[in-house]
A and B are shown apart, each in its own frame.
Chain A
């Protein structure tokens, strides 16, 4: 069996760590009402540790000076950290931190086993292209209704909230339904909620246009094997891009020369740009052992 590249294992480790942290914090929150506490973990409500809560509170915070109900200062802190991160390296929050994305990926592993190469290719590109903008509609709607109602309206629909609170009996049916759709959809499509519906992903995705460290392909060393395209969970065509400015990139590093790309220093997360080398400089020596183009 082919060993997973280090970058994949590292990212998986970070994702699982955040997943456990959030799950146990949320569980602790529920247990605290029974006087039980899992040691070393906080007991904040999920709303308190969601950076998107900070985003939807901004309008009310600026105009009235208070936060939307159930949102607390911690959300603003996390929002600040996530914004700093996204300006620096793009939506790494989605690719490395967000526990809902992690769960979607875990279920996607089952889907990949079932459907093999067909996995993540079910939505026709002509439709998919437009569906990808749906999440901006969700973002505008969420910000608008939160600003006008001063309530955390998205909690009614939020699969992230449902995932970490389904045992409480407090989750609205709509949110449970959307969670179920997301989990089932993940068997066919990689990260369906991230791609089509996540308002926070939509907001962070905009920073792909201006981020400091960008995924870049070096056209002068690229052998056009398209391994990067196949590796990308968000179906981005890295093989035709110079810098990847697609609003859906989540900085997962799967396309890079550390992982999928078989040619060294050809797809990198970097600030600045590649020096253009003549094509003949690419030799077999540039392809690390164990990497076969196209696999």
Chain B
């Protein structure tokens, strides 16, 4: 059988197929000209099947990150000083660049070392660090315990460092590795509160070898710098833990699914773990205040360092 297809029907077929196909796909919910923001999964190794922080793109909002990685919007807003934002869930990764433009011009290690070392000692070179999408990748990777090598020149704000620490996401070795990347930002961008003195004064640590991105995507490995350089935050795949499991090896090692002492944790919540009042008082070195008191607030009121008390209390967890 022979069938001719002349120009007019051919033109109708072409236009009709495109118009009809697009309309049909819209009706079926398949038509999307914007990313649905589903991060690709890691395919091999210990973290296979988990969303890969290396796939976070500039267009990802905090909400998308919560959806993909389980890092709450509130935590992200705290970490990157967007708490005052009306809708922090809508903040995009690429917004960090604008927010922290100019805020990340000094290498933070000049700050702590200046406080702890004699004047005569040579200061590390000042390196401009950038807080942008890669900073968010790094933060998320640390938060969920997946190894990630940040790009050279990536920094994270001290607020992010503090959030990681407060949430027990930094083992001592990770903390050492990340310290050279912590950037002191201006008051206008930093959230309320400051890094405890002890944390600020911690000296720069030797740099761990860079580990490749867990997802297999080639990432530019950071090169050691004279100032201490960039850090491979995964430290080693052995020490990095999957989301929801123990992160780090130090006394403050905790998990996202287990109870954590955070900025707003009360003594009552610690008691609820099964810890006795006597145990808490032993840590505090004085009688425990009212159960509903926020631990951090109490520490501030009596002049104790929250980080120290928190770590000690965290260890009581059965």
Q: Given A7-B7, A14-B14, A97-B14, A274 and B21 touching (CB < 8 A)? A: no
Q: Mark B31-64, 1 if CB is under 8 A from A, else 0.
A: 1111110111101000000000001010000000
What is the CA–CA distance of A81 and B13 in the complex, to the nearest angstrom?
Answer: 11
Asked if residues A66 and B34 are in contact (CB atoms below 8 Å), the reply is no
| CB-based nearest A residue for B9 | A269
Give the interface segment out of A44-52, A156-164, A185-193. A44-52
Give the interface segment out of A82-90, A197-205, A242-250. A82-90
- How far is the CB of B61 from the nearest CB of chain A, in Å? 16
Q: Which of A80, A85, A269, A273 contacts B6 (CB 8 A)?
A: A269
| CB-based nearest B residue for A88 | B13
B90: CB under 8 A from chain A? no
A275: CB under 8 A from chain B? yes
Asked if residues B3 and A253 are in contact (CB atoms below 8 Å), the reply is no
Q: Given A213-B5, A271-B3, A74 and B32 touching (CB < 8 A)? A: yes
Chain A residues, Cβ within 8 Å of B30: 73, 76-77
Chain B residues, Cβ within 8 Å of A213: 3, 5
What is the CA–CA distance of A269 and B217 in the complex, to the nearest angstrom?
Answer: 47
B264: CB under 8 A from chain A? no
Residues of chain A from 172 to 209 with CB closer than 8 A to chain B in the complex: none
Chain A residues, Cβ within 8 Å of B40: 60, 64-66, 150
A258: CB under 8 A from chain B? yes
What is the CA–CA distance of A232 and B7 in the complex, to the nearest angstrom?
Answer: 16
Asked if residues B18 and A81 are in contact (CB atoms below 8 Å), the reply is yes
Chain B residues, Cβ within 8 Å of A78: 18, 21-22
A149: CB under 8 A from chain B? yes
Chain B residues, Cβ within 8 Å of A63: 43
B257: CB under 8 A from chain A? no
Q: Given A44-B33, A45-B33, A11 and B11 touching (CB < 8 A)? A: yes
Q: Mark A90-131, 1 if CB is under 8 A from B, else 0.
A: 001000110000000000000000000000000000000000
Interface size range of chain B in the complex: 20 to 34
What is the CA–CA distance of A270 and B2 in the complex, to the nearest angstrom?
Answer: 7
Q: Which of A64, A72, A81 contacts B32 (CB 8 A)?
A: A72
B218: CB under 8 A from chain A? yes
A6: CB under 8 A from chain B? yes
Chain B residues, Cβ within 8 Å of A210: none
Q: Mark A243-269, 1 if CB is under 8 A from B, else 0.
A: 000000001010010100000010011
What is the CA–CA distance of A271 and B34 in the complex, to the nearest angstrom?
Answer: 39
Asked if residues A48 and B218 are in contact (CB atoms below 8 Å), the reply is no
Asked if residues A273 and B21 are in contact (CB atoms below 8 Å), the reply is no
Q: Given A64-B40, A88-B13, A150-B40, A48 and B5 touching (CB < 8 A)? A: no
Q: Given A65-B41, A66-B38, A150 and B217 touching (CB < 8 A)? A: yes
What is the CA–CA distance of A268 and B3 in the complex, to the nearest angstrom?
Answer: 10
| CB-based nearest B residue for A63 | B43
Q: Which of A17, A77, A256, A275 contacts B22 (CB 8 A)?
A: A77
Chain B residues, Cβ within 8 Å of A60: 40
Q: Mark A141-153, 1 if CB is under 8 A from B, else 0.
A: 0000000011000
| CB-based nearest B residue for A216 | B2
The 4 A-B pairs of least Cβ separation, nearest first, read: A44-B33, A272-B2, A7-B7, A48-B33
Which A residues are within 8 Å of any B CB, using their own CB? Answer: 6-7, 10-11, 13-14, 17, 42, 44-45, 48-49, 60, 63-67, 69, 72-74, 76-78, 80-81, 84-85, 88-89, 92, 96-97, 149-150, 213, 251, 253, 256, 258, 265, 268-275
Having A6-B8, A251-B10, A275-B2, one finds 5 other A-B pairs with CB under 8 Å, namely A64-B43, A77-B21, A81-B22, A89-B13, A269-B10
